[in-house]
Chains A and B, each alone.
Chain A
Amino acid sequence: MERSEEYIKNERKKEWRVELQKKTKAKDRMAIERVEMSEQDPNERIKSQRIEVNNGLTKEQAVKEAMRCMDCVNPTCMEGCPVSINIPKFIKNIERGEFGKAASVLKETSALPAVCGRVCPQEVQCEQKCFYVEKLNQPSVAIGHLERFAADWERESGEIAVPECAESNGVKVAVIGSGPSGLSFAGDMAKLGYDVTVFEALHEIGGVLKYGIPEFRLPNAVVDVEIDNLRQMGVKFVTNFIVGQTASLEDLKEEGYKAFYVGSGAGLPRFMNIPGENANGILSSNEYLTRVNLMGADSEESDTPVLRGKNVVVVGGGNTAMDSVRTAKRLGAENAMIVYRRSEEEMPARVEEVHHAKQEGVEFLTLTNPIEYIADENGRVKQVKVQKMELGEPDASGRRRPIPMEGSEYTIDATVVVVAVGVSPNPLIPNSVEGLEVSKWGTIEVVKDKMQSSIPEVFAGGDIVRGGATVILAMGDGRKAAANMDTYLKEKYLSQKVEQ
């Protein structure tokens, strides 16, 4: 399944590609300006959690943008993709108007193209490695927008192609967690002919794609279509099942499962351990977003309550912080504020998310850090005591270290505070599987590039290994694990079949 250089070169030499390459001169391609994706009006979109911000590209926009791609001999963009999408091949299919084929190319290596087209940080991955950026110092081809276009076109066309799967080999494998990592793994294993079952603790499939990322960035319906595609490939899903609690790994082995992929995520929110943090009204971004995204608490019809407030403070500078503060805005906050201890430059959130948050009227209090929460007589937070910070020398992360400024403390009024300062690995699997080597941070130790844990039949990837990263890196781990588990299982159980 891995793309050899030769394969990529041969694909590039196909007649239709050569024709396209000749059809338009490089100079003319370079003369086209990068497409701008249109957005919903900020004042309109903040009225609902379920209005998607980005509109996607029109056919005309997509074809024109696809023309910008130079179909490079050496497509460096692919080096930047954790799931090795054949980027020029899908883009050139868009250029020649074969949108369905473009979508099929995406699905060769990605289980979730419509998701990745929306939430991947392309600007630091494929797009950063684009010829335009590397050689011309110009804006890259809008690979992410084109990816979304192809995936959306296929979904909306109603003609969804199911990727080809090898003949069933009858070997059962279990996936623990139905987030992006587990889904990516499941897709690859199904293609290889394995009998794949995904176990999910929650009542919905999708993990962080459902409970974490808000619908204004990633509609649940989009995620469901991709999950349905996996179903059609033969992947089975079991909800409300916590491996290690509902049944142990040993129980599953008795059921015939030969190997396991743990993609249980970083579902344990971190707090700052500052005075007053357990007051009512202070909650983790996980709780806040889960109530709204998974449980639909923004709707009056939902039985799940959510806290609303005139003044909402969100602590943190990552994508989850942006998701939370923009959710607060949509829940009616007059003042939705980001409080972040470094400056905007160091924010880990995507530039696009920060930009969208600002458009929506979110206030940014940077170089500011909460040091204490003050509650009212009923135990509900009413004020956040913060301290101004200044930047010192770079720390281990390479970002300049924030240093508190003595005497700079002041208070901000807020009745809802969302803490989005990161997550730790979920302890359920590490605690329940004997012999599984775990780091001091609680992440599962794996052999790098193989994703194999200290127990040979247990592989792991995504945030349970990384401790908090992105959807696409989690997906990349899933693919790596699938390839290596395939080798492991073939050696162990299918060697005779292979010889035949």
Chain B
Amino acid sequence: MNKIVEKENFSEKVVKIVVEAPLIAKARKPGNFVIVRVGEKGERIPLTIAGADVKKGTITMIVQKMGVSSQKLCALEAGDYVTDLVGPLGKPTEIHNVGTVLCCGGGVGVAPLLPIVEGYKKAGNKVITVLAARNKDLLILEDEMRKHSDEVIIMTDDGSYGKKGLVTEGMEEVIQREKIDECITIGPAIMMKFCSLLTKKYEIPTMASLNSIMVDGTGMCGACRVTVDGKTKFTCVDGPEFDAHKIDFDEMMSRLGGYKSEEQDKMDHFQE
């Protein structure tokens, strides 16, 4: 049982939760994730870590309401407990001083990108961050990103904030302007696919962090299978980050829908 010490509604669909987890706070590195379960009948769901406070012994998660489990988690308030929390899971991001790094986040993918941006900056890189959201209200963690980036470019679909356009448009502008040594992309699968196609064109090494379906998160179930360079990998123990240019994104997107109708049934049951 882990106590929620703080909760903030970023938008109708997106919630920030700060949870007591002293060991995870201490052990986690950029790129790691956790598994959360809410209630005795609850599902185990993977969630990213947006930050940690070692002194307070807490980690921060940013959750988007999607299915039953994320809805249940988002319904909890400060003072409530999550039933189970385990982590940190996955391999951490390999952060080195490479020169200039382009960090691209979309939607709630911005959350796990934050520790990575911090890490790259700390390692001495020049960090240019492109954040994308459908509109101004859905944009998250802008201030935090500005604190750790040399430059932040904001893209919105409707032009309500920053520049109007897709994340790739912001990226291409930077790529054409200066030499980028490495790129990392985290967001919806379709966004990562197009980021990857763009950087492939410019031959910029790119990592993408995947949010596959998982049960245990420790290599046991294989639900998170993904094809990378023609070989099957497990997102939980081999990832979650992979060479974006080698990921079969189409398969990955299809697999994200592997339980779609079953999840819808659960949702209908939940709403009854």
- Interface residues, chain A, CB within 8 Å of chain B? 201-203, 211, 239-242, 245-248, 267-269, 271, 273, 277-281, 283-284, 286-287, 290-291, 295-296, 299-307, 378-379, 426-428
What is the minimal beta-carbon distance from B217 to any residue of chain A, in angstroms? 8
B residues near A378, Cβ cutoff 8 Å? 254, 257
Do A295 and B257 touch across chains, with their CB atoms under 8 A apart? no
Instruction: Using CB atoms, name the residue of chain A closest to B89.
Output: A245
12 additional A-B pairs beyond A211-B220, A268-B219, beta carbons within 8 Å, are A240-B84, A246-B24, A267-B216, A269-B220, A269-B221, A283-B223, A287-B215, A295-B43, A296-B41, A306-B262, A379-B254, A426-B218
Do B23 and A246 touch across chains, with their CB atoms under 8 A apart? yes
The verdict on A303 contacting B266 (CB below 8 Å), with A271-B232, A379-B257 known, is yes
Within the assembled complex, what's the spacing in Å between the Cα atoms of A379 and B216?
A: 24
A residues near B107, Cβ cutoff 8 Å? none
Do A242 and B218 touch across chains, with their CB atoms under 8 A apart? yes
Within the assembled complex, what's the spacing in Å between the Cα atoms of A379 and B259?
A: 12
Q: What are 13 inter-chain pairs, A to B, with CB distance below 8 A?
A: A201-B86, A245-B89, A246-B87, A268-B222, A278-B251, A283-B221, A284-B221, A284-B223, A286-B220, A287-B223, A290-B221, A303-B43, A427-B219
> Looking at B27, B87, B222, B251, which has the most chain A CB atoms within 10 Å of its CB?
B222
Mask: chain B, 205-240; 1 = CB below 8 Å from A; 0 = not: 000000000011011111101110000101001000
Partner of A203, one of B84, B87, B221, B258: B84
A residues near B87, Cβ cutoff 8 Å? 242, 245-246
The verdict on A303 contacting B86 (CB below 8 Å), with A245-B27, A428-B218 known, is no
The verdict on A278 contacting B227 (CB below 8 Å), with A203-B83, A241-B86, A245-B88 known, is yes
Do B222 and A269 touch across chains, with their CB atoms under 8 A apart? yes
Within the assembled complex, what's the spacing in Å between the Cα atoms of A378 and B257?
A: 9
Partner of B232, one of A202, A239, A267, A278: A278
In the complex, whether B246 has a CB less than 8 A from a CB of chain A is: no
In the complex, whether B39 has a CB less than 8 A from a CB of chain A is: yes
Within the assembled complex, what's the spacing in Å between the Cα atoms of A269 and B237?
A: 12
B residues near A273, Cβ cutoff 8 Å? 232
Within the assembled complex, what's the spacing in Å between the Cα atoms of A271 and B233?
A: 11
Within the assembled complex, what's the spacing in Å between the Cα atoms of A267 and B218?
A: 8
A residues near B222, Cβ cutoff 8 Å? 268-269, 271, 283-284, 286-287
Within the assembled complex, what's the spacing in Å between the Cα atoms of A283 and B212?
A: 14
Within the assembled complex, what's the spacing in Å between the Cα atoms of A248 and B262?
A: 38
Instruction: Using CB atoms, name the residue of chain A closest to B91.
Output: A431
Within the assembled complex, what's the spacing in Å between the Cα atoms of A300 and B232?
A: 32
Instruction: Using CB atoms, name the residue of chain B closest to A289.
Output: B221
A residues near B72, Cβ cutoff 8 Å? 303
What is the minimal beta-carbon distance from B230 to any residue of chain A, in angstroms? 10
What is the minimal beta-carbon distance from B146 to any residue of chain A, in angstroms? 31
In the complex, whether B103 has a CB less than 8 A from a CB of chain A is: no
What is the minimal beta-carbon distance from A438 to any residue of chain B, in angstroms? 15
Within the assembled complex, what's the spacing in Å between the Cα atoms of A274 and B178?
A: 44
A residues near B216, Cβ cutoff 8 Å? 201-202, 211, 267, 290
Do B220 and A268 touch across chains, with their CB atoms under 8 A apart? yes
Do B27 and A295 touch across chains, with their CB atoms under 8 A apart? no
B residues near A287, Cβ cutoff 8 Å? 215, 221-223
The verdict on A303 contacting B39 (CB below 8 Å), with A202-B216, A246-B27, A426-B219 known, is yes
A interface, by DSSP: helix, strand, loop or mixed?
A: loop
Partner of B265, one of A245, A248, A284, A305: A305
Partner of B262, one of A202, A290, A307: A307
A residues near B270, Cβ cutoff 8 Å? 303
B residues near A202, Cβ cutoff 8 Å? 86, 216
Instruction: Using CB atoms, name the residue of chain A closest to B250.
Output: A379
Instruction: Using CB atoms, name the residue of chain A closest to B221.
Output: A287
Do A281 and B258 touch across chains, with their CB atoms under 8 A apart? yes
A residues near B265, Cβ cutoff 8 Å? 305
A residues near B225, Cβ cutoff 8 Å? 271, 278
Within the assembled complex, what's the spacing in Å between the Cα atoms of A202 and B87?
A: 10
What is the minimal beta-carbon distance from B153 to any residue of chain A, in angstroms? 34
| Interface size classification for chain B | 35 or more
> Looking at B37, B216, B221, which has the most chain A CB atoms within 10 Å of its CB?
B221
Instruction: Using CB atoms, name the residue of chain B closest to A271.
Output: B232
Instruction: Using CB atoms, name the residue of chain B closest to A202.
Output: B216
Within the assembled complex, what's the spacing in Å between the Cα atoms of A290 and B35?
A: 15
The verdict on A246 contacting B266 (CB below 8 Å), with A277-B232, A296-B41 known, is no
In the complex, whether B16 has a CB less than 8 A from a CB of chain A is: no
Do A291 and B41 touch across chains, with their CB atoms under 8 A apart? no
A residues near B27, Cβ cutoff 8 Å? 245-248
In the complex, whether B255 has a CB less than 8 A from a CB of chain A is: yes
Do A290 and B220 touch across chains, with their CB atoms under 8 A apart? yes
What is the minimal beta-carbon distance from A469 to any residue of chain B, in angstroms? 17
A residues near B223, Cβ cutoff 8 Å? 283-284, 287
What is the minimal beta-carbon distance from B33 to any residue of chain A, in angstroms? 11
What is the minimal beta-carbon distance from B57 to any residue of chain A, in angstroms? 13
Mask: chain B, 140-156; 1 = CB below 8 Å from A; 0 = not: 00000000000000000
A residues near B83, Cβ cutoff 8 Å? 203
A residues near B219, Cβ cutoff 8 Å? 267-268, 426-428
> Looking at A278, A378, A379, which has the most chain B CB atoms within 10 Å of its CB?
A278
Within the assembled complex, what's the spacing in Å between the Cα atoms of A295 and B39?
A: 11
Instruction: Using CB atoms, name the residue of chain B closest to A303.
Output: B43
What is the minimal beta-carbon distance from A419 to any residue of chain B, in angstroms? 8
**Interface of chain B residues 27 through 61 with chain A (CB within 8 A):** 27, 37, 39, 41-44
In the complex, whether B69 has a CB less than 8 A from a CB of chain A is: yes
B residues near A271, Cβ cutoff 8 Å? 222, 225, 232
Do B88 and A246 touch across chains, with their CB atoms under 8 A apart? yes
Do B232 and A295 touch across chains, with their CB atoms under 8 A apart? no
What is the minimal beta-carbon distance from B205 to any residue of chain A, in angstroms? 24
The verdict on A303 contacting B251 (CB below 8 Å), with A203-B83, A280-B257 known, is no
What is the minimal beta-carbon distance from A433 to any residue of chain B, in angstroms? 15
Instruction: Using CB atoms, name the residue of chain B closest to A302.
Output: B41
Do A301 and B41 touch across chains, with their CB atoms under 8 A apart? yes
In the complex, whether B201 has a CB less than 8 A from a CB of chain A is: no
Within the assembled complex, what's the spacing in Å between the Cα atoms of A234 and B113?
A: 44
Within the assembled complex, what's the spacing in Å between the Cα atoms of A307 and B88?
A: 28
Within the assembled complex, what's the spacing in Å between the Cα atoms of A280 and B258?
A: 5
In the complex, whether B85 has a CB less than 8 A from a CB of chain A is: yes
Do B89 and A305 touch across chains, with their CB atoms under 8 A apart? no
Within the assembled complex, what's the spacing in Å between the Cα atoms of A387 and B50?
A: 49
Instruction: Using CB atoms, name the residue of chain A closest to B231.
Output: A273
> Looking at A269, A271, A307, which has the most chain B CB atoms within 10 Å of its CB?
A269
What is the minimal beta-carbon distance from A331 to any residue of chain B, in angstroms? 11
Partner of A242, one of B39, B86, B255: B86
Within the assembled complex, what's the spacing in Å between the Cα atoms of A377 and B39?
A: 36
Instruction: Using CB atoms, name the residue of chain A closest to B269.
Output: A300
Partner of A307, one of B37, B84, B259: B259
Instruction: Using CB atoms, name the residue of chain A closest to B23.
Output: A246
Do A247 and B220 touch across chains, with their CB atoms under 8 A apart? no
B residues near A246, Cβ cutoff 8 Å? 23-24, 27, 86-88
